[in-house]
């Protein structure tokens, strides 16, 4: 229940964030109602602003939630009072960009262009109007109150009849306590990050046969095979044929224990499933365990070459990019402390052509077993270069057609 509430909350708050905040640095203290219009629907919420802090109060399915954003520290906290829990996300992390459109908006402005478009009065506030474009396309217009140094209206050009405006604006001192996590609240932990128990069927794992790809094997319910994880190789698998409702999983193990609870992994015998790609680095896992829960199927398993390297500060990982398909990347914390690396893109002349500011290209691996995955478009340049800022990072990268096996 906790994961469900927070997961949904991220999506809802993300919409409201991008709808209510612009790129200007706020200086005033005030509260207001956020009216988010899309088509014939209107979603309302309350926003409280105090300097470089803001708080957005929302309600989802009867659950009251609020988000606190510290623009100076670049931290976003999503708080669920009913659970006395909160989630903390670095505002410049890629995950935040994907789940927090406010940061995505800042990214758009940082990588695009914002042009003055005159002045207008909106909801009683004299505003500077700005037209924001990206890749030569107008994406939004915002009206920033001269007095509040804050947007009171935003219009979106890529979605029909979508705009946001602040109403019922009330200026005045705001209590600092509104931006603090209440006492007794704990940080939400994703169940997928908790240590996995060894399933009953894997208690005698060492007796299961070990096979080396490529191979094809018919498997039935209760059967287990093990495939070693080899540096620079990924393990791909698919069901060539299967019985009705067959269920099997390819689960990465380390020292006889699954990396996550097995229910987190796909059913590789599912009809229509192209294939399962296990890209765990050799630092994270030592074998991929195939287990059939029910039914029978013929598994076709093959290796796929990927570039893999462990990096420490001062070292680089360089990956040549072809023009034919996306680049898949996996970054794993290779040590016991926080690790940070920077992703840059270069052209054939060796020039850095990265369009995003550095903050938006950092991979943050806060905990020893953290990992992040990324997919890069083939038009990013001729080479991806990874440099480590702190800690140790194991990088694994490859380029392939996601719809082929």
Q: Residue 9: count other Cβ atoms within 10 Å of its Cβ.
A: 22
* DSSP line for 357-380: -GGGGEEEE-STT-EEEEEE-GGG
CB 112 within 8 A of CB 105: no
Cα 79 from Cα 66, distance rounded (Å): 5
Confidence at residue 257, expressed as pLDDT on a 0 to 100 scale:
94
Can you read off the two tokens belonging to residue 322?
Answer: 């072809």
Phi/psi-derived region of residue 172, left when phi > 0, alpha when psi is between -120 and 50, beta in every other case: left
Can you read off the two tokens belonging to residue 326?
Answer: 């996306």
Q: Per residue of the chain (405 residues), what is the pLDDT tens digit? A: 444 444 444 444 444 444 444 444 446 899 999 888 889 999 888 999 998 898 989 887 788 999 898 988 888 898 999 999 998 887 776 666 664 556 666 777 777 889 999 999 999 999 999 998 988 889 989 898 999 988 889 888 988 998 888 999 999 999 999 999 999 999 988 776 777 899 999 999 999 999 999 999 999 999 999 999 999 999 999 999 888 889 999 999 999 999 999 998 999 998 778 899 999 999 999 999 999 999 999 999 999 999 999 999 989 999 999 878 999 999 999 999 999 999 999 999 999 999 888 888 999 998 899 999 999 988 899 999 999 999 999 999 999 988 888
Confidence at residue 96, expressed as pLDDT on a 0 to 100 scale:
62
DSSP state of 260: S
Confidence at residue 267, expressed as pLDDT on a 0 to 100 scale:
95
Cα 319 from Cα 232, distance rounded (Å): 13
Distance of CA 139 to the CA centre of its chain: 22
- Residue ranges of the chain that CATH labels 2.60.120.1540: 307-399
CATH fold, domain 200-305, is: Jelly Rolls (2.60.120)
C-alpha distances (whole Å) from 207 to each of 119, 177, 201, 210, 260 are: 75, 58, 12, 9, 22
SS (H, E, C) 157-221: CCCCCEEEEEEEEEECCCCHHHHCCCCCCEECCCHHHCCCCCCHHHCCHHHCCECCCCEEEEEEC
- Residue ranges of the chain that CATH labels 2.60.120.290: 200-305
Confidence at residue 67, expressed as pLDDT on a 0 to 100 scale:
87
Confidence at residue 22, expressed as pLDDT on a 0 to 100 scale:
44
Residue 324, SS3 per DSSP: coil
Q: Is domain 2-111+162-189 in CATH 2.50.20, yes or no?
A: yes
Confidence at residue 11, expressed as pLDDT on a 0 to 100 scale:
42
Best CA proximity match to 47, nearest among 71, 89, 13, 74 = 13
Note the CATH number of domain 307-399.
Answer: 2.60.120.1540
Best CA proximity match to 102, nearest among 80, 76, 127 = 76
Report, in angstroms and rounded to the nearest whole number, the Rg of the chain calculated over CA atoms: 24
Q: Residue 324: count other Cβ atoms within 10 Å of its Cβ.
A: 9
CB 283 within 8 A of CB 339: no
Buried residues in 265-275 as b, exposed as e (16+ CB within 10 A): bebbbbeeeeb
Confidence at residue 102, expressed as pLDDT on a 0 to 100 scale:
61
- Residue ranges of the chain that CATH labels 2.50.20: 2-111+162-189
Confidence at residue 190, expressed as pLDDT on a 0 to 100 scale:
76
Confidence at residue 371, expressed as pLDDT on a 0 to 100 scale:
94
Cβ-based neighbours of 172, under 8 Å, separated by 6 or more: 29, 30, 31
Residue 403, SS3 per DSSP: coil
CB 47 within 8 A of CB 54: yes
Confidence at residue 104, expressed as pLDDT on a 0 to 100 scale:
64
Buried residues in 31-60 as b, exposed as e (16+ CB within 10 A): bbebbbbbeeeeeebebbbbeebbbbbbee
């Amino acid at each position: 229940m906790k994961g469900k509430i927070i997961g949904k909350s991220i999506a809802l708050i993300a919409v409201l964030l991008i709808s209510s905040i612009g790129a200007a640095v706020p200086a005033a203290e005030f509260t207001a109602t956020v009216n988010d219009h899309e088509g014939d629907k209107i979603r309302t919420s309350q926003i409280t602003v105090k300097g470089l802090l803001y708080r957005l109060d929302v309600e989802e399915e009867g659950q009251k939630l609020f988000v606190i954003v510290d623009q100076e520290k670049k931290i976003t906290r999503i708080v669920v009072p009913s659970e006395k829990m909160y989630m903390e996300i670095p505002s410049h992390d890629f995950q935040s960009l994907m789940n927090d459109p406010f940061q995505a908006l800042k990214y758009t402005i940082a990588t695009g262009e914002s042009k003055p478009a005159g002045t207008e009065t909106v909801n009683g506030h004299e505003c500077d109007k700005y037209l924001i474009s990206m890749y030569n396309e107008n994406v939004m217009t915002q009206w920033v109150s001269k007095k509040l140094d804050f947007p009171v209206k935003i219009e979106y050009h890529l979605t029909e009849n979508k705009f946001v405006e602040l109403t019922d604006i009330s200026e005045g001192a705001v209590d600092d306590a509104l931006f603090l996590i209440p006492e007794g609240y704990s940080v939400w932990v994703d169940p997928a990050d908790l240590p996995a128990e060894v399933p009953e069927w894997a208690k005698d794992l060492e007796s299961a046969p070990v096979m080396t790809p490529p191979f094809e094997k018919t498997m039935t319910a209760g059967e287990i095979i093990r495939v070693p994880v080899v540096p620079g190789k990924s393990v791909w698998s698919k069901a060539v044929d299967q019985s009705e409702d067959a269920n099997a999983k390819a689960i990465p193990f380390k020292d006889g224990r699954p990396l996550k609870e097995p229910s987190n992994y796909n059913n590789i015998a599912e009809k229509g499933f192209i294939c399962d790609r296990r890209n765990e680095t050799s630092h994270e896992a030592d074998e991929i365990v195939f287990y059939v829960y029910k039914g029978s199927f013929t598994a076709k398993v093959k290796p796929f070459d990927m570039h893999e390297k462990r990096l420490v500060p001062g070292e680089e990982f360089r990956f040549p990019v072809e023009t034919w398909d996306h680049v898949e990347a996996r970054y794993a914390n290779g040590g016991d402390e926080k690790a940070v690396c920077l992703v840059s893109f270069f052209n054939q002349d060796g020039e850095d052509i990265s369009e995003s500011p550095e903050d938006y290209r950092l991979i943050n691996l806060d905990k020893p077993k953290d990992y992040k995955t990324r997919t890069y478009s083939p038009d990013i340049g001729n080479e991806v270069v990874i440099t480590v800022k702190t800690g140790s990072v194991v990088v694994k990268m490859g380029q392939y057609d996601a719809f082929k096996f």
